[in-house]
Amino acid sequence: MAGSTILPFNRPIMMGSELQYMAEAIAGEKLSGDGPFTKKCSALLEQDLGVPKVLLTTSCTHALEMFALLLDIQPGDEVILPSFTFVSTVNAFALRGAQPVFLDVRPDTLNLDESLLEAKITSRTKAIAVVHYAGVGCEMDAILDIARRHGVSVVEDNAHGLFGKYKGKYLGTFGALAAQSFHETKNFTCGEGGALLINDPKLVDRAEIIREKGTNRSRFFRGLVDKYTWVDVGSSYLPSDILAAFLYAQLENREKIQALRKDVWERYSANLKDWATKREVRLPHIPSHCDQAYHMFYMLLPTLELRQGLIDHLRQHGIMSVFHYLPLHLSEMGLRLGGKRGDCPVTEHVSDQLIRLPFYNSLTAEDQQRVIESILEYDF
Ligand SMILES: Cc1ncc(COP(=O)(O)O)c(C=O)c1O
């Protein structure tokens, strides 16, 4: 729009010490993985969340790939997961030859619908991968109960949910394993990065080996073995300590970041409520037993045409907004694996309806007002 600056959908910002810490990492001449800043990030997350072991990874995608290796997923194993998620949730298991079993989501939170779960469990089911969409917890009590009764592992894709809680307990601490993302679109970032949260202590040793190219290098550095060697399959999932230095500066500011994002979320919610109610637009639902992670603000418009119309209307005002996941069971790969229209009706519907509004730590009240006013002008 002429005369006005473009308001982006996302803007990664530094919180203060990022460059200083990166310079320290470089000056310390320890640029590869598992240096001092990696250790600081892991210790901070372990302490805050109460997780026995946290390993930084190069991405959430790679932490998810480690899930599949750690659970020993074999060709033909079934993994139940929502169709409404990012491609990495499913790819991690598909890479090992697993058959994804796509489950629909609840219409209120857009999280895996636990009432449909038990019927999908078969003798081949190896794992249930939950995604805490928008950093709002899945119904973990019911999911864990079903999984326990059937002897199936639960793992959490918590890319959106760091520091969110379900019934007072941190997301990422329910499953045997959980994955975090530090991609530039997330609350805390180092550009590209992630973490593997290991809640089942039995998986720690093997996770360290898989992350270190299938070697027992971590045990060697701790003086537990006198030489290191190839002991298992693995890959290189360690981020450089330069990136960990950037991330540590962000994590140190976790309270400030979450408070900034809470303000943004609440301003959208308060200012859009009346407009939305009058037009049957749905705003996010946060169950009273969930503390959300303030990762995003989305709205569900009544139809695809109205959703596209709003994205176009905002673009004309120089404001960037986006839709989110396309149903995985209807993707090219999903169809090849047997997906059919109608398999996940809620997912198919909300995928057409959903719009995500600009959301970042440094979004000022003034810029946000510009977004809100443009939406209030969109009448139908
Ligand atoms: C639910 C979910 N899982 C995994 C990922 C992948 O994260 P990364 O880019 O860190 O690999 C994303 C990315 O946005 C995501 O939304």
Three-state DSSP string of the chain: CCCCCCECCCCCCCCCCHHHHHHHHHHCCCCCCCCHHHHHHHHHHHHHHCCCEEEEECCHHHHHHHHHHHCCCCCCCEEEEECCCCHHHHHHHHCCCCEEEEECECCCCCCECHHHCHHHCCCCEEEEEEECHHHCCCCHHHHHHHHHHHCCEEEEECCCCCCCEECCEECCCCCCEEEEECCCCCCCCCCCCEEEEECCHHHHHHHHHHHECCECHHHHHCCCCCCCCECCCCCECCCCHHHHHHHHHHHHCHHHHHHHHHHHHHHHHHHHHHHHHHCCCECCCCCCCEECCCCCCEEECCCHHHHHHHHHHHHHCCECCECCCCCHHHCHHHHHCCCCCCCCHHHHHHHHHEEECCCCCCCCHHHHHHHHHHHHHCCC
> Is the Cβ atom of 187 under 6 angstroms away from ligand 1?
no
Give yes or no for residue 130 CB within 6 A of ligand 1.
Answer: no
Q: First and final CA of the chain: distance in angstroms?
A: 22
Token output for 2: 């002429």
Ligand 1, atom 9: closest residue by C-alpha: 183
- Contact, 9 vs 229, CB < 8 A? no
Distance 279 CA to ligand 1 centre (A): 32
From the CB of 154, is ligand 1 less than 6 Å away? no
> Which of 89, 95, 139, 98 minimizes the C-alpha distance to 122?
98
356: β partners: 298, 322
Instruction: Establish whether residue 162 lines the binding site of ligand 1, counting it when its CB lies within 6 angstroms of any ligand atom.
Output: no
pLDDT along the chain (380 residues), means of 10: 78 96 96 97 98 98 98 98 98 98 98 98 98 98 98 98 98 98 98 98 97 93 90 97 98 98 98 98 98 98 98 98 96 96 98 98 97 97
Tell me if 109 CB under 6 Å of ligand 1: no
Q: pLDDT value at position 4?
A: 67
Question: What is the distance in A from the centroid of ligand 1 to the CA of 97?
Answer: 20
Whether 159 lines ligand 1, by a CB cut-off of 6 Å, is: yes
Does the CB atom of residue 110 touch ligand 1 within 6 A?
no
Does the CB atom of residue 245 touch ligand 1 within 6 A?
no
57 lines ligand 1 (CB under 6 A): no
Ligand 1 neighbourhood includes 60 CB (under 6 angstroms): yes
Q: What is the pLDDT of residue 3?
A: 46
Q: Is 157 in the pocket of ligand 1 (CB under 6 A)?
A: yes
pLDDT of residue 226: 87
- Cross-strand bridge partners of residue 319: 7
Locate the ligand 1 atom nearest the alpha carbon of residue 64 and give its number: 4
Distance CA 198, CA 212 (A): 16
Give distance in angstroms: CA of 316 to centre of ligand 1.
29
Q: At what angle do helices 365-377 and 304-316 cross, to 10 degrees?
A: 130
The phi, psi pair for 355, rounded to 5°, reads -130, 135
User: Measured in angstroms, how far is the CA atom of residue 379 from the centroid of ligand 1?
Assistant: 34
- For the chain, the C-alpha Rg in angstroms (whole number) is 21
- In the block, tokens 């026995």 appear at 52
Position 261: which residue type? R
Query: CB 270: neighbour CB atoms within 10 A?
Result: 10
- The closest of 81, 85, 108 to 324, measured between CA atoms, is 85
d(CA 184, CA 186): 6
- Out of 58, 60, 158, give the residue to mutate to test ligand 1, the one with the largest number of ligand atoms within 8 Å of its CB: 60
CA distances from 231 to 144, 196, 210, 219, 228 (A): 32, 20, 9, 12, 9
Is the entire prediction scored with pTM above 0.95?
A: yes
Residue 51: partners with Cβ closer than 8 Å, 6 or more residues away: 45, 172, 173, 178, 197, 198, 199
